A and B are shown apart, each in its own frame.
Chain A
Amino acid sequence: MGKTLSQKIWDSHVVHSGSGEPDLLYIDLHLVHEVTSPQAFDGLRINGRKVRRPDLTVSTEDHNVPTENIDQPIEDEISLKQIETLRANAREFGITHYPMGHPNQGIVHVIGPELGLTQPGMTVVCGDSHTSTHGAFGALAFGIGTSEVEHVLATQTLPQPIQETMAITILGELPPQSSAKDVVLAVLGAAGTGGGIGAIAEFRGPVIEALSMEGRMTVCNMSIEFGAKAGLIAPDRTTFEYLKGKPNSPTGELWENAVAEWQKLRSDDDAVFDREIVLNGNEIVPQITWGTNPGQVIPVQGTVPNPDDFEDPAEREAAERALEYMGLEADTPMSSVPVDTVFIGSCTNSRIEDLRAAAAIIEGRKVSAGVRTLVVPGSGLVKEQAEKEGLDKIFKGAGFDWREPGCSMCLAMNPDKLSPRERSASTSNRNFEGRQGRGGRTHLVSPQVAAATAIAGYFATPEDL
């Protein structure tokens, strides 16, 4: 029997295996940020340990950083202390660090790929659940907790139990209004929040193959939302073209050797997956979440579900609670629900292509009166590129706030937050209660839907404008 892509990468990274023991995997790249690392560095100091491979470790500050006035001192003292702690740790342990204001600074999952640090066949970890993003390159990438961050810092390895394999195949062709975000939201609708637990998911099929690297990153990014350990996509010409010439990509003869090796990174034809989901891409219309977990998803042009229609009592109860929290009535058309805030950003949708797609919709239009709108580029490089293309002018001209890079309103650790009962259309990845600010009501959408919603003032697809 053949092997799947994830099994091939796994097998090529086993340092040690023993019966009854998890495999010990070598880690090729460890990305570090301010939130999940301070206690790990403390652990190293307490035990007199060093960072084994500072050369395979890169850190940046993203979760906490303000997105305005970054030339001023950070006002929130606790955030400031956490960021200064990371800078001091990076200095002490000899780790490359990109601080706020540096062109390479940004959301970890945006900077890794754009610096060419993420390459096919690698193992990538980070103390952040959206590390699955890097799977878009055919890498095995997953989020870890702080104990594991300390483990990787000290040993450059991680003990990992074998995972099941899962194939998610998207057939056909996407309708023109739909994007990668709609694909992954549709997968979430089908899999639910627990459908991937215990498995590594491989996305494949013609719809996935037709996506750009940015789109593939959006899809892999949300793998953790259905519980998968990781999500990945076989590398192909699109991948190689993206990587060619990136700062950390191989050059010359090494590039040729690398591409030859990367081309072998695909699941064998006779590989058998433990689980399988097949969706028809032609039916994937623009999606939106209505509830408080990312599996609670409907078409933007649909209506709020009625809890009575759920057969499973737990799901019915969850739906009732979600509607109460979200301040929504069953059977309401989403297109009649007004929004207060539109957020374009996060490790899911803050790359250049996302900003281009949103800008194309708002160009020559104005944000609906009273709607707060912000665009937060994923990194210094994305911001620079967008400004070179004049996208910042389009956003500002329409009434959007154009901000500095960071995680921002995705998780409300910096000053960008929703107020209680404030409703957002957000291109981020989680609509949990309070995720974007206490009492805030989040609806997850694509950049295209976010842009159209900002103009309409109500949830809308570009087609509705």
Chain B
Amino acid sequence: MEPVHIIQGTAVPLDRSDVDTDQIIPSDWLKRVERTGFEKGLFSEWKDDPEFVLNDEAYSAASILIAGPNFGTGSSREHAVWAIQQAGFKAVISPRFGPIFKNNSTKNGLVPVEVETKVGNRLLEEVQRQPLLEFVIDIERALVEIPEINFEFGFPLDQSVQERLLNGLDDISITLANETSISRFEESRLAWLPSQK
């Protein structure tokens, strides 16, 4: 995973609540065994509608996705995160995220920015009015700044998640540093637990 420090760019307003992972990437796309090539599947059912906001030229350069509450609810498919990233997005702003989606995001360096509903609604309005509004998301300070409208707000970022994002750390290597503890734990597991030996 590449380290993430600052995300600077414009945003696209996806003014819908409960955008589930089946909308983000329909299940037909999940049959692939590769990790790349998912950008075409992103919102593929909604994209047929010319009015769909992601088809709007004004937002074509956006690298931040702003959505209503409960973004990424539903299935555990990490393909949803891969599709969003491969389509050029680096962060998603929403008042609430589906928990598995949120977890998957940070494992891949896609930053989930959780905001109050009030703030989320304001951002949607601002970006609908001014598509080229520039956002600066600072991971180190867990802060979003929008200088043009003189607006900034913090967002919750778990300390260990923040460290992994900033340093682009691989979870598995961190865990394997505790190999001795894992082996010790394994020695004391209950005798009747199922095993396929």
- Residues of A whose CB lies within 8 Å of any CB of B are 15-16, 20-22, 24, 26, 28-29, 35-36, 38-39, 42, 47, 49, 52, 54-58, 63-64, 76, 78-79, 81-82, 85, 96, 116-117, 119, 121-122, 127-129, 143-148, 150-151, 154-157, 159, 161, 193-194, 197-198, 224, 227, 229, 248-250, 254-255, 257-258, 261, 292-293, 314-315, 317-318, 321, 411-413, 430, 432-435, 438
Closest to A80 in B: B31
Q: Which of B2-10, B83-91, B95-103, B131-139 contacts A (4 or more CB under 8 A)?
A: B95-103
Which 6 A-B pairs have CB atoms at the shortest separation, nearest pair first? A250-B192, A145-B104, A38-B33, A147-B107, A145-B78, A248-B194
Asked if B192 contacts A39 (CB within 8 A), the reply is no
| Contact in complex: A56, B196 (CB < 8 Å) | yes
Query: A434 CA to B18 CA in the complex, in Å?
Result: 14
Residue of B nearest to A41 (CB): B33
- Nearest-neighbour CB distance to chain A for B172, whole angstroms, equals 5
B31, A78: Cβ atoms closer than 8 Å: yes
| B172-A36 in contact (CB<8A) | no
- Bound form: Cα–Cα A35–B172 in Å: 21
Could you list some 6 contacts between A and B, CB below 8 A?
A15-B185, A36-B76, A58-B196, A147-B107, A157-B178, A255-B192
A163 nearest in chain B by CB position: B99
Given A26-B182, A145-B103, A151-B172, are A129 and B23 neighbors across the interface (CB < 8 Å)?
no
Is B17's CB under 8 angstroms from A24's CB? no
For residue B56, CB closer than 8 A to chain A, the reply is: no
Q: Total number of A-B contacts with CB less than 8 angstroms?
A: 195
A78 to B181, CA, bound (A): 41
Cβ 8 A contact of B181, one of A16, A64, A248, A438: A16
Find out whether the CB atom of A122 lies under 8 angstroms from the CB atom of B193: yes
B33-A82 in contact (CB<8A): yes
**Chain A residues near B158 (CB-CB < 8 A):** 22, 161
Please name all residues of chain B whose beta carbon is closer than 8 Å to the beta carbon of A119 when the two chains form the complex. 192-194
Q: Is the pair B100, A144 in contact by a Cβ cutoff of 8 Å?
A: yes
B153 to chain A, nearest CB (A): 20
Complex Cα distance, B104 from A308, in Å, reads 36
Shortest C-beta distance, A39 to chain B (Å), equals 5
Q: Is there a chain A Cβ closer than 8 Å to B69's Cβ?
A: yes
Residues of A within 8 A of B128 (CB): none
Q: Beyond A145-B103, A314-B69: 9 further Cβ-contacts under 8 Å?
A: A36-B78, A78-B31, A116-B194, A119-B192, A121-B190, A143-B76, A293-B18, A293-B73, A413-B30
The one of A55, A146, A198, A438 in contact with B195, judged by C-beta atoms closer than 8 angstroms, is A55
Nearest-neighbor residue (CB-CB) of B120 within chain A: A314
Please state if B33 and A435 are interface contacts (CB–CB under 8 Å): no
Question: Quick one: given A144-B76, A154-B172, A435-B22, are A29 and B194 in contact (CB under 8 Å)?
Answer: yes
> B residues within 8 A CB of A315?
17
Chain A CB within 8 A of B60 CB? no
What is the interface size of chain B, counting residues whose CB is below 8 A from a CB of the partner?
58
- Return B28 CB to nearest CB of chain A, in Å: 7
Asked whether B191 lies within 8 Å of A254 as measured between CB atoms, the reply is yes
A25 to chain B, nearest CB (A): 10
Specify which chain B residues have a CB less than 8 angstroms from the CB of A116 in the assembled complex.
194
Interfacial residues of chain B within 96-116, with CB under 8 A of chain A in the complex: 96-100, 103-104, 107-108
Q: Quick one: which of B132-189 are within 8 Å of A by CB? A: 158-160, 171-172, 174-176, 178, 181-182, 185-186, 189
Bound CA–CA A258/B189 (angstroms): 12
- Write out the residue numbers on chain B whose beta carbons fall within 8 Å of the beta carbon of A128: 75-76
Question: Residues of A contacting B99 with CB < 8 Å?
Answer: 197-198, 227, 229
CB distance from B57 to the nearest CB of A (A): 24
CA distance A194 to B189 in the complex (A): 35
Which residues of the partner chain B approach A261 to less than 8 Å between Cβ atoms? 190
Chain A residues positioned under 8 Å from B103 (CB to CB): 144-145, 148
Given contacts A64-B31, A129-B76, A194-B69, contact A24 B178 (CB under 8 A): yes
User: A300 to chain B: closest CB distance in Å?
Assistant: 23
Distance, CA A159 to CA B173, complexed state (A) = 12
Kindly list chain B residues whose C-beta atoms are within 8 Å of the C-beta of A42.
33, 35
User: With A15-B181, A16-B178, A197-B99 in contact, do A57 and B196 touch (Cβ < 8 Å)?
Assistant: yes
Query: Which residues of A are found within 8 Å of B175, using beta-carbon distances?
Result: 24, 151, 154-155, 157, 159
Say how far B195's CB is from chain A's closest CB, in angstroms: 4
B47 within 8 A of A: no
Distance (whole angstroms) from the CB of B12 to the closest CB of chain A? 18
* Interchain CA distance A42-B26 in the complex, whole Å: 23
